[in-house]
């Protein structure tokens, strides 16, 4: 299962209810922090997570509400004896911004950090891959997709009709290899099936553009900013953000299974329904997320 912990769900100004943007994605020993707004460290503690377990930080862009928590987090990691290499990925300019950051603060200790400016597929393991795509937000800004690769699984019903014992035979079938047991040959393709990939898309901070839909196509989970309601469409356009209705339009046209709305302005703290209704009118399977909510997929 991929676990997604929403550490911060506000737009640029934090409210009493919401911290600025940060999401932690946990899967197979990886703890990938997506953006790190101010206050993320305390949210990590409130979620009872250990910051030293973070393996990578993905930065969407360098507006303060997405990165102000980075210097504090790096200081904590260094002081806590973080002994791995921390990988930091971001859009063009990220290396310079990180240099500026190290020139601004006096860090007593430093961890080993590797910084990459990314576009396209930049990380792939046996279990997942991550891709970045340039968005339109006035400054370099990336959206990301995380794809958990589907595995070959044993069809238990079909297996029960055979006399194959568990253990090495099943392992070989899962590798796509045929096996012979007591003189009888069993074909992998008859006893296994391929589980679907699971795709999680992260779109925060962008105006509507025509690269989003192909990039997030067929997401199991589309996590999108929804800074404005549709009556403030002009404002959204001016500040290069999405309205909830536009986010829902993207979900619908890209055939997402589920839409999660985040990056919520404090102007809706007392009227969240306005944002949610806006989205639901276009895409029924829309949900508003709150700080410290957890989703598993």
CB of 203 to Zn ion, least distance (A): 12
**For Zn ion, which stretch binds (CB under 5 A), given 185-193, 205-213, 272-280, 286-294?**
205-213
Considering only residues 160 through 179, tell me which ones interact with Zn ion, judged by CB under 5 A.
none
> Binding mask 61-80 vs Zn ion (x if CB under 5 A, - otherwise)?
--x-x---------------
CB of 8 to Zn ion, least distance (A): 10
Considering only residues 45 through 64, tell me which ones interact with Zn ion, judged by CB under 5 A.
63
205 contacts Zn ion (rule: CB under 5 A): yes
CB of 246 to Zn ion, least distance (A): 15
Q: Report how far Cα 253 is from the mean position of its chain's Cα atoms.
A: 20
CB of 15 to Zn ion, least distance (A): 14
CB of 241 to Zn ion, least distance (A): 8
117 contacts Zn ion (rule: CB under 5 A): no
- Closer to Zn ion at the Cβ: 38 or 65? 65
280 contacts Zn ion (rule: CB under 5 A): no
- Closer to Zn ion at the Cβ: 37 or 249? 37
- Closer to Zn ion at the Cβ: 65 or 278? 65
- Judged on CB neighbours under 10 Å (0-12, 13-18, 19+), 267 is middle
- Closer to Zn ion at the Cβ: 242 or 279? 242
Please give the positions annotated as active site: 65
Q: Which residues contact 241 (CB under 8 A, 6 or more apart)?
A: 137, 205, 206, 207, 225, 227, 228, 263
Gap between the Cα atoms of 297 and 220, Å rounded: 8
Gap between the Cα atoms of 49 and 28, Å rounded: 16
Buried b (16+ CB within 10 A) or exposed e, 220-234: bbbbbbbbbbbebee
Contact criterion met (CB below 8 Å) for 175 and 205: no
**For Zn ion, which stretch binds (CB under 5 A), given 2-10, 30-38, 160-168, 198-206?**
198-206
- Closer to Zn ion at the Cβ: 63 or 280? 63
Gap between the Cα atoms of 63 and 37, Å rounded: 9
Buried b (16+ CB within 10 A) or exposed e, 15-52: beebbbbbbbbbbeebbbbbbbbbbbbebbeeeebebe
Three-class DSSP category at 255 = coil
- Which residues make up the interface to Zn ion (CB under 5 A)? 63, 65, 205
């Amino acid at each position: 299962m991929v676990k997604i912990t929403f550490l911060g769900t506000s737009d640029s100004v934090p409210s009493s209810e919401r911290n600025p943007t940060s999401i932690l994605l946990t899967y197979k020993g990886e703890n990938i922090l997506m953006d790190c707004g101010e206050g993320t460290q305390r949210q990590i503690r409130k979620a009872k997570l250990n910051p030293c377990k973070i393996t990578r930080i993905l930065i969407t862009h360098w507006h303060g509400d997405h990165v102000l928590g980075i210097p504090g987090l790096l200081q904590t990691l260094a002081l806590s004896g973080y002994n791995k290499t921390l990988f930091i990925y971001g859009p063009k300019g990220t290396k310079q911004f990180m240099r500026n950051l190290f020139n601004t603060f006096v860090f007593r200790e430093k961890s080993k950090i590797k910084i990459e400016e990314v576009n396209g597929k930049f990380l792939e393991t046996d279990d997942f891959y991550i891709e970045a795509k340039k968005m339109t937000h006035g400054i370099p800004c990336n959206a990301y997709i995380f794809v958990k690769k589907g595995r070959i699984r044993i069809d238990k019903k079909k297996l029960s009709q055979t006399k194959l014992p568990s253990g090495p035979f099943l392992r070989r079938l899962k590798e796509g290899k045929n096996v012979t047991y007591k003189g009888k040959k069993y074909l992998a393709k008859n006893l296994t099936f391929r589980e679907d990939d699971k795709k999680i898309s992260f779109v925060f901070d962008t105006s509507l553009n025509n690269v989003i839909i192909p990039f997030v196509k067929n997401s199991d989970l589309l996590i999108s900013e929804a800074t404005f309601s549709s009556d403030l469409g002009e404002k959204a356009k001016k500040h290069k953000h999405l309205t909830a209705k536009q986010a829902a339009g993207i979900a619908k046209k890209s055939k997402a299974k589920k839409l999660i709305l985040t990056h919520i302005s404090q102007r809706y703290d007392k009227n969240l329904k306005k944002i949610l209704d806006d989205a639901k009118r276009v895409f029924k399977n829309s949900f508003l997320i709150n700080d410290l909510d957890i989703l598993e997929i």
